[in-house]
Amino acid sequence: MPLSSSYDNIIINTDNYKHCHYPLYPPGTEYVNSYIESRGGEFPVTMFVGLQAFLRDYLMHPITLEDIDQAEYYMREQGMHFNRENWMGILNDHGGFLPVEIEAVPEGLVLPTKNVLVQIINTDPKYFWATSFFETALLRAVWYPTTVGTISWLAKAVIREALDRTSDNPGVLRHMLHDYGARGVSSQQSAALGGLAHLVNFSQSDTVPGIIAAKEIYNAVAPSNSGPNSEHAGFSAWGRENEAAAMRNMLEVHAPSGCALLLTDTYDHENAVKNIIGKELAEEVRNFPGLVGVRPDSGDIVQVTADTTDWLMDAFGYEVNSKGFKVLPPFVRTVQGDGVNRDSLPLVFAEMERRGMSAENAVFGMGGGLLQHCNRDTMNFGQKASAVMVNGEWRAIGKSPTGDLMKTSKKGRLALTFEDGEYKTVQRDSVSPEQNLLKPVFRSGKLLKKWDFSELIELSEKDVPESYYAAAIAPLRNAVGGQDAAVA
């Protein structure tokens, strides 16, 4: 359903119980300092992205009297306490903008988990409660794109490893993983945030909301490429006996585009590749003015990707590159978009390498495995208060539950440093402002730093220690190493 303007009201873009928290602080509380981190999880690192979208969409728009009236009605109807005076004060004292300052690490930066990513503090002691009030919306705005961006970044590490091992063409890296996830997510907003996060790492997407978000929020210029693809509805409409005609029609119609991706599993995938594409349409494929993608869309992803590439080599030949691996002619590639996820991708490359085929013979698409197979607990994201000022004195605070050590939170006002090749979260007063990688990005309605998409890409591609992605590429190395040992 389309979202009404009510969803833009930051006063109700929260958990109900947030409205009853302001009187629970000690008398004399003036400032509350909170931070966001990934407390660890499935991956050892995070690629931070997405905060700017939240700042521009929500915090740069002031609350209005109508917002306050609406929130009061909704909260009291549910039996929840609502302090109208607090919000009227923000409206009158600060023009409706939340009096908070937000610091963050640079967007696009890849760093180990368990480090501070965002830090928030109120700027007016009268509104000390504001820091934690919008935790729900802020944490959601950070954990989701950052988790998707990290999944995409680690997939890129896997593909880079496969190319390093088997290909002479590393320049294809950013073109090898396509975002097909729009239909598999829970909302268009998720498609936008997850889609833009993927585009930091790869230049391929069919998720239009993500492309729009990258352009409108981060000033991205041509962030994505796509090309004519087929679907089963169009091909099956021709009937089984006319499958070759359906494919020929697509090659003719989309020749001006220089790209045509042919589905081959509408009926019998092996027959479609070997006999229709490899024989009946072989000349059309050879003479196509661009790339013909051969797209299996079902079956065991590891075997079907390698089998399809093998059959295409039988039909169209191959060259052997300097590393001794076979490469299809440039006019044809396998396109695998079914079953691709962070577990299957390295195994596909391992099988291709085992068969002596370069990784560049296939390109991939991820859908649910990219944008939907994650949640806040994938990386255990949390926002916690770490310091309060009471009657002019700072207190370092935190939680330390005996039942779950992972939930032990950091204390004090924090900073992030990079020394001797290592990121460290330290106490703010222990380093100079120049050493602190947390930089103010927002203050009381004003955007202090506007990230350009090119900056995100540049930061994401900085050299990092292999430990950041070792676990992601381990299945590829182990599978190939195990095969080598078995042969020996």
CA distance 210 to 220: 11
**Token pair listed for 102:** 């937000």
440 is in an annotated binding site: no
Determine if residue 338 is labeled as part of a ligand binding site: yes
Helices (H) and strands (E) in the chain, counts: 16, 18
Nearest-CA neighbor of 96 among 72, 129, 60, 70? 60
If we measure between CA atoms, which residue out of 168, 1, 157, 60 comes closest to residue 449?
60
Tokens, residue 220: 């991205």
Distance CA 39, CA 139 (A): 13
Length of the chain: 488
Is 310 among the annotated ligand-binding positions? no
Question: Known binder of ligand: residue 296?
Answer: yes
Among candidates 52, 35, 45, which has minimal Cα distance to 107?
Answer: 52
Identify the helix (H) or strand (E) that includes residue 256. none
Q: Is 368 annotated as a binding residue?
A: yes
Secondary structure (DSSP) of 35-55: EEEE---SSSEEE---HHHHI
- Is residue 179 within 8 Å of residue 87, measured between CB atoms? no
How many angstroms separate the CA atoms of 434 and 432, rounded?
Answer: 5
* Residue 376 marked as a ligand binder: yes
User: What angle separates helix 135-166 from helix 344-354, to the nearest 10 degrees?
Assistant: 0
- 103: tokens are 């610091």
Query: What is each CA distance from 290 to 24, 192, 223, 256, 286, in whole angstroms?
Result: 66, 30, 21, 9, 9
CA 91 to chain centre: 35
Residues belonging to the binding site for diphosphate are 183, 232, 295
Please report, in range form, the residues annotated as the binding site. Answer: 183, 206, 232, 295-297, 337-338, 368, 376
Please give the annotated binding residues for beta-nicotinamide D-ribonucleotide, written as ranges: 206, 295-297, 337-338, 368, 376
